[in-house]
Amino acid sequence: MRWRDHGLGLIGIAGFLLAWELLPRAGVVSQAYLSPPSEVLRAVAGLAGQGELAKHVLASLQRSLWGLLLAIALGVSLGLAMGRFARFERVVDPILQLFRQTSALALFPVFVLFLGIGELSKVAIIFWASFWPVLLNTIGGVKQVDPLLVNAARSMGASGAFVFRKVVLPAASPSIFTGVRLAGTYCITALVAAEMIGAHSGLGFLTLNSQEVFQIPSMYAGILLLALLGLALNYVLALIERWRTRWRRGLAPEI
Report yes or no: 135 and 75 within 8 Å, Cβ to Cβ. Answer: yes
For residues 22 and 220, what is the distance between their CA atoms, to the nearest angstrom? 16
pLDDT at residue 10, rounded to an integer: 81
The DSSP-derived string for 124-169 is HHHHHHHHHHHHHHHHHHHHTS-HHHHHHHHHTT--HHHHIIIIIH
Give the closest residue to 127 by CA, choosing from 104, 96, 110: 104
- By the 8 A CB rule, do 24 and 38 touch? no
What's the full length of the chain, in residues? 255
- Amino acid identity of residue 142, one-letter, is V
Task: List, for residues 102-148, the tens digit of each pLDDT value.
Answer: 887 788 888 888 888 888 888 999 999 999 999 999 999 999 888 88
Model pTM? 0.85
Over the stretch 103-114, which tens digit does the pLDDT of each residue have? 877 888 888 888
Kindly list the structural domains of the chain, giving each domain's residue range(s) and its CATH number in brackets, ordered by start. Answer: 35-246 (1.10.3720.10)
Tens of pLDDT, residues 26-59: 888 888 888 899 999 999 999 999 888 999 999 9
**Closest C-alpha to 172, from 92, 97, 101, 81:** 81
